[in-house]
Structure 1
Amino acid sequence: MLGWALTFLVVALIAAVFGFGGIASASAGIAQILFFIFIALFVIAMIARAVRGRPPM
């Protein structure tokens, strides 16, 4: 999921360089949403791992 977020970020940056503001804005928004979903799932996975008795990495 982090890979997809980085892909949309690169698309947004390229679109911004070429002057496509709408596409850049949409891609940046999607990248931001995917990044926050990734962070939330990562935190949930670390909490679940700690609850099961394994120490966090």
Structure 2
Amino acid sequence: MLSWALTFFIVAIIAGVVGFGGIASASAGIAQILFFVFLVLFAISLIARVARGR
């Protein structure tokens, strides 16, 4: 999931440099959503691991 967010972020940077503003903003938005989904899933997995014990 984090790799997809990074991929969309790189696409957004490249599109912004080339001058495609609409594509850049859409890719940045998708990257932001994927990053926050990654953070939520990561936090849930950490909480589950602590709750389960060793």
Q: Name the count of aligned residue pairs.
A: 54
Q: CA RMSD in A?
A: 0.4
Q: Where in structure 2 are the equivalents of 1:2-41 lying within 5 Å?
A: 2-41=2-41
Task: State how far apart, in whole Å, the 2-side matches of 1:47 and 1:11 are.
Answer: 33
Task: State how far apart, in whole Å, the 2-side matches of 1:15 and 1:53 are.
Answer: 46
Match of 1:49 in 2: 49
What are the ranges of 5 or more consecutive residues in structure 2 without an aligned counterpart?
Answer: none
Query: Offset at 1:35?
Result: 0.1
Task: State how far apart, in whole Å, the 2-side matches of 1:12 and 1:37 are.
Answer: 18
Structure with the bigger RCO (C-alpha within 8 Å, sep 6+) is 2
Give the TM-score normalised by structure 1.
Answer: 0.93
Quote the sequence identity (%): 74
Instruction: Flag the structure with higher helix content.
Output: 2
